[in-house]
Chain A
Amino acid sequence: MRKHNDEHLKQEQIIWAVVDEKELSEGDQLHLMRCQLCQDRVAQFMTELQVFGERAEFSVPPLTKILQMPAPERSTAKYRLSWIPFAGAAAMAGLVFFFYFLGMDAMSPKWTTVEGPDNLLEDEYLMQEISEIVEYPLPEELYEITGDAADIDDDFLEFVVPDFQENSQS
């Protein structure tokens, strides 16, 4: 820090004066206010920088691109509301599917038990017919040929074909 106001500012103080005069000490600020030479040095440096800035500004090529205005943003409330029709449609679709599958289930064939007495009687007749068919699978004409259909009892058969054991004993 300079003690005497009559001493000119040093280079670093000139720079500080360009940055911000308030950064100088009170003594230096006082000197700068009174000394034309120091004022000129500060002003010259500032002007150099200013001219440099202007030169830079004029050396920039012109803006040729047409800037596009950004697209408007959707408001949050509208964004939330926009989901309502979609949610409704989804719910409707869900209901349609639900009832559709419910209908399919109702219409599908089911095994049910026969409970009426008439039905039971019919079943019994049916079972009898089946048993008869099992027992006598051939037509009656064929049984006549084989002899099964004629009234041939055991005595007659004994007569025709005597028992071998009985004959050997006698």
Chain B
Amino acid sequence: MIFIPFRGQARGFKLYSLCLLNFDESGRCYGRMTTEESKNMSLKIAGLAEKAMAGNRGSFQELMTMLQEDIYRLAYYRTFSQMDAEDITQEVFVQAYKKIKTLHDPQRFRAWLYTIAVNRCNDFLRKKKYLFLLQSRSAQEQEFVEADKMDNDYTDAIAKKKFWEQVRLLLDKLSTMERQVFTLRFMDHRNINDIATILGKNESTVKTHLYRALNKVREESLFFQEYRELIS
């Protein structure tokens, strides 16, 4: 049985729309990532994906280490539950491992993995809709309990709780597709081309949904006031 350590591993990089940011081991941004570094990263992922497709378990393990936190965050943005997001992350990698031979282009591994993750989250939310009626305590309340347990710093926990409350309210104003596109673009930091691949839509459809989403988001001036102050 092989276990993958999740802490203390090189976390990888993240491609932003405006700038390329670099992250340290704890996931904190410490600087900008050059285009060259980003290209190298993509090449590395493609190389590992190619080896994994040929049946190399070590390469898949490395990919898992590199991308597990991205997938976990993707799941968390949709479920707002740490436990569920962790379970979904595990399921995504199991499914990816089983289906890796169906991947045609190793260059598209990341987008392909995101497609699996988004679909798993959609399935989970669909099931949860029915299970929700049976639960004595709402998922929201449960999540806050989890957050409280998780953070010893009470102020930090309150701030996070408030933030996720606002995010929920914001995302609730968007349609399903608008929410998917907005989340993938500004929370998962995927580009338009990737989003089109992940959702199986053409780019102009993605742009239209993104425009509608941003139009609604822009109206939430109070929500962004905090960030405006932070920026200014």
Contacts and interface: CB of A to CB of B under 8 A. Distances in A.
The answer to whether A and B come from one shared complex is yes
A91 interface: no
A48 B89 contact: no
Contacts of B64: 67, 69
Nearest to A63: B72
Interface string A49-63: 111111111111111
Nearest to B29: A54
A12 interface: yes
A97 interface: no
Nearest to A66: B3
Contacts of A66: 3-6
Interface in B47-105: 57, 60-61, 64, 68-69, 72-73, 76-77, 82, 86-87, 89-90, 93-94, 97-98
Taking chain B's interface residues, is the majority helix, strand, or loop, or is none over half, making it mixed? helix
Interface in B195-232: 207, 210-211, 214-215, 217-218, 224, 227-228, 230-231
A53 B189 contact: yes
Interface stretch (B31-39, B109-117, B160-168): B160-168
Contacts, number: 121
Contact of B17 (A46, A51, A58, A65): A46
A20 interface: yes
Contact of B227 (A52, A58, A65, A72): A52
B18 A46 contact: yes
Contacts of B17: 46, 50
B73 A60 contact: yes
B231 A64 contact: no
B146 interface: yes
A87 B138 CA distance: 55
Interface residues of A, number: 37
Interface residues of B, number: 56
Contact of A55 (B27, B73, B163): B163
B86 A68 contact: no
A136 to B, nearest CB: 97
B98 A73 contact: yes
18 contacts: A11-B218, A16-B211, A19-B192, A46-B18, A48-B227, A50-B16, A50-B17, A53-B16, A56-B163, A56-B187, A61-B151, A63-B6, A65-B89, A68-B4, A69-B4, A69-B61, A70-B98, A72-B57
Interface of B: 1-7, 16-18, 27-29, 57, 60-61, 64, 68-69, 72-73, 76-77, 82, 86-87, 89-90, 93-94, 97-98, 146-147, 150-151, 160, 163-164, 167, 186-187, 189, 192, 207, 210-211, 214-215, 217-218, 224, 227-228, 230-231
Given A55-B163, A65-B86, A69-B2, 16 more contacts: A15-B214, A15-B215, A47-B18, A52-B224, A53-B16, A53-B186, A53-B189, A57-B187, A60-B73, A61-B150, A62-B27, A63-B69, A66-B3, A67-B64, A68-B90, A73-B97
